[in-house]
Chains A and B, each alone.
Chain A
Amino acid sequence: NAGVTQTPKFQVLKTGQSMTLQCAQDMNHEYMSWYRQDPGMGLRLIHYSVGAGITDQGEVPNGYNVSRSTTEDFPLRLLSAAPSQTSVYFCASSYTGGEDGNEQFFGPGTRLTVL
Chain B
Amino acid sequence: AQSVAQPEDQVNVAEGNPLTVKCTYSVSGNPYLFWYVQYPNRGLQFLLKYITGDNLVKGSYGFEAEFNKSQTSFHLKKPSALVSDSALYFCAVRDVGFQKLVFGTGTRLLVSP
Residues of chain A having any CB pair with chain B under 8 Å: 4, 31, 33, 35, 40-45, 48, 50, 58, 90, 92, 94, 96, 99-109
B33-91 interface (Cβ within 8 A of A): 34, 36, 41-46, 49-51, 90
Which residues of chain B have C-beta atoms less than 8 A from A43's C-beta? 44, 90, 103
Chain A residues with Cβ below 8 Å from B100 are: 33, 45, 48, 58
B26 interface residue, CB < 8 Å from A?
Answer: no
Q: Are A45 and B101 in contact (CB under 8 A)?
A: yes
Closest 3 CB pairs of A and B: A106-B43, A42-B105, A43-B103
Contacting residues, chain B, for A35 (C-beta < 8 A)? 103
- Given the known A-B contacts A106-B44, A107-B43, A108-B43, are A101 and B99 also in contact in the complex, defined by CB atoms under 8 Å? no
Contacts of B49 in A (CB 8 A): 101, 103
Give the A-B contact count at a CB cut-off of 8 A. 55
**A90 contacts which chain B residues (CB < 8 A)?**
43-44
CB neighbours (8 Å) of B101 from chain A are 33, 45, 104
Q: In whole Å, how far is B109's beta carbon from the nearest beta carbon of chain A?
A: 15
Name B99's contact: one of A4, A41, A94, A105 (CB within 8 Å): A94
CB distance from B96 to the nearest CB of A (A): 8
Between A and B, 11 residue pairs with Cβ closer than 8 Å are A41-B105, A42-B6, A42-B103, A43-B103, A45-B101, A90-B43, A94-B99, A100-B51, A101-B51, A104-B46, A109-B42
Q: How far is the CB of A21 from chain B (nearest CB, A)?
A: 14
The bracket for how many chain B residues form the interface is 20 to 34
Q: Are B99 and A108 in contact (CB under 8 A)?
A: no
* B residues near A107, Cβ cutoff 8 Å: 43
| A29, B12: Cα distance in complex, Å | 37
Chain B residue, CB-CB nearest to A32: B99
- Separation of A32 and B86 alpha carbons in the complex (Å): 29
Min distance, Cβ B65 to any Cβ of chain A, angstroms: 13
Q: In the bound complex, do residue A42 and residue B51 qualify as a contact, i.e. CB atoms below 8 Å apart?
A: no
Nearest residue in A to B34 (C-beta to C-beta)?
A103
Whether A108 pairs with B105 at a CB distance below 8 angstroms is no
- A45: chain B residues at CB < 8 Å are 100-102
Q: Are A42 and B44 in contact (CB under 8 A)?
A: no
